[in-house]
Amino acid sequence: MDPRSEVLLRQADLFQGSLLLTGLPADDLPGRLPDARGWSWHAGDFAALQARFPGRTHFGTEAPVEPFEAAVLFLPKAKDLTDYLLNALASRLQGRELFLVGEKRAGIEAAARQLSPFGRARKLDSARHCQLWQVTVEYAPQAVELDSLAKHFDIDLDGGPLKVVSLPGVFSHGRLDRGSALLLENIDRLPSGHLLDFGCGAGVLGAAVKRRNPQMTVTMLDVDAFATASSRLTLAANGLEAEVLTGDGIDAAPEHLDAILTNPPFHTGVHTDYAATENLLRKAREHLKKGGELRLVANSFLRYQPIIEAHLGTCAIMSEGQGFRVYRAKRA
C-alpha cells in the first residue's frame, strides 16, 4: 500500500462518511474506506481503480459534481496544481474538513502552508516519511476556472511562432523543455501518414508536426488529463486539428503508425520511473508499420539505444547537445 494511504489509515476514524480522495494512488485504500470516492486525472490509476472499485472514481480535470463532506488531497508534484486542487476542494467545503497528505521528499511541509488561506492548519500525523495535515475551512474561496490558470507562450519555429497553452501540473509548465527544443530542430524528413506524439504534455511536438505537415494525421497521447486538456488548448490556439487521447502507455495507442515522436517520461510524480518508456520501446514495433520510424529525445545518460536496437531495429543518433540526444530507428 502507498505510504500516504497507510498514514491515512492510522487515523481511519477521521475518514468515515462521504470523503473525496483526490489524486489517490491505485491501491486498496477505497476498499478500507467504503464510503469514500476518488477523483483521479491519471488514466492508469483510474483504470486500476475502476477495475477494483467500479463506479467509485471520477476522472477528469474538474472536481466531481456530486457533493462530498470532506476531502483529502494527495500532494501532487507541482505547486500550481496543488493550488488549483486546494481551491477546487476548499470552495466546496465551507465549515468542513480538508486534509493534505504527502511525502516529505515531495515537500509536504512547505505545501501545508498553502492551506493557511482557508483557516488554521494543523499537522495530525507524521509517519512512513509522510505527513498528514488538516484544516477546517473557515474561509471558502471562490472556485477558480482551470483555463484562467493556463500559461501561454510562443515557440519560434519555421513558419512563425507556435502558441503553446499549458495548464497547472503539465510537464515544463510555461516554457519549452530543452530536450523538446532539440527534438523540434530534428522533425524534418519524418515519414508522412499517421504520427503519434507519445506523452504529448502541452502538445508542443504534435502541434508543430501538424502545422508543418497539414496532410499528416496526428494522434497525441498522454496519461494525464491535465496534459491532454492542454494539448487540446494548444491545438485550438493554432487552429489545428488532431486526435487527442488520454490513456496509459503505448498500449492505448493506435496501430499501423508511420511514426512515433516522443520526449518520453522518466518520472511518476516525484519518483523516477522508466516503466512507460521501456514498455514503449519494447512494443513500438507492434504499433508501427514496417519501415515506420521512432524518433525520440532523451537525456544522454539514459541507455535507450540498446533497448531500441533489441526490439525495433538499427538506432542512430541524429543530433546531440546540452545533455540530450535525438535517436531515430526504423522498424526492420
Ligand X SMILES: C[S@@+](CC[C@H](N)C(=O)[O-])C[C@H]1O[C@@H](n2cnc3c(N)ncnc32)[C@H](O)[C@@H]1O
In the complex, the residues that contact ligand X under the rule CB under 6 A are: 44, 171-172, 177, 180, 199-202, 204-205, 221-224, 227, 248-249, 263, 265, 276
Name the residue nearer to ligand X (CB basis): 177 or 243. 177
CB of 283 to ligand X, least distance (A): 12
**Measured from the CB atom, is 199 or 292 closer to ligand X?**
199
Q: Alpha helix locations (H) across the chain?
A: 3-10, 29-32, 43-52, 79-90, 108-111, 178-184, 204-212, 225-237, 275-287, 305-311
In the complex, minimum distance from the CB of residue 93 to ligand X, in angstroms, rounded to a whole number: 28
Cβ neighbours, 10 Å, residue 106: 21
Give the gyration radius of the chain's Cα atoms.
21
Q: Quickly count: other Cβ atoms within 10 Å of residue 147's Cβ.
A: 11
Minimum CB separation of residue 166 from ligand X in Å reads 8
Closest CB 227 distance from ligand X, rounded Å:
4
CB distance 183 to 248 below 8 Å: no
The DSSP result for 31-98, as a single string, is HHSTT-EEEE-BHHHHHHHHHHSTT-EEESSS--SS--SEEEEE--S-HHHHHHHHHHHHTT-TTSEE
**CB neighbourhood size of 66 (10 A):** 9
Smallest gap from residue 32 Cβ to ligand X (A):
26
Cβ proximity to ligand X: between 123 and 175 the closer is 175
Provide the minimum distance between the beta carbon of 187 and ligand X in the complex, in angstroms, as a whole number: 12
Closer to ligand X by Cβ: residue 92 or 311: 311
Element (H, E) at 143: none
CB of 321 to ligand X, least distance (A): 16
- Of 9 and 78, the one with the shorter C-beta distance to ligand X is 78
Which contacts (CB < 8 Å, 24+ apart) does range 229-232 have? 229/61, 229/146, 229/167, 230/150, 230/165, 230/166, 230/167, 230/170, 230/201, 230/202, 230/203, 231/200, 231/201, 231/202, 231/203, 231/206, 231/207, 232/203
Handedness of CA 273, 223, 152, 157 (dihedral sign): positive
Cell of 255: 496501430
Q: How far is the CB of 46 from ligand X (least distance, A)?
A: 12
What 8-state DSSP symbol labels residue 15?
Answer: G
Q: Which is nearer to ligand X, 103 or 248 (CB)?
A: 248
In the complex with ligand X, which residue's Cβ is closer, 44 or 292?
44
State which residue, 187 or 221, has the beta carbon closest to ligand X. Answer: 221
Between 7 and 257, whose beta carbon lies closer to ligand X? 257
Q: Which residues contact 325 (CB under 8 A, 6 or more apart)?
A: 297, 298, 299, 300, 317, 319
In angstroms, give the least distance from the CB of 71 to ligand X. 24
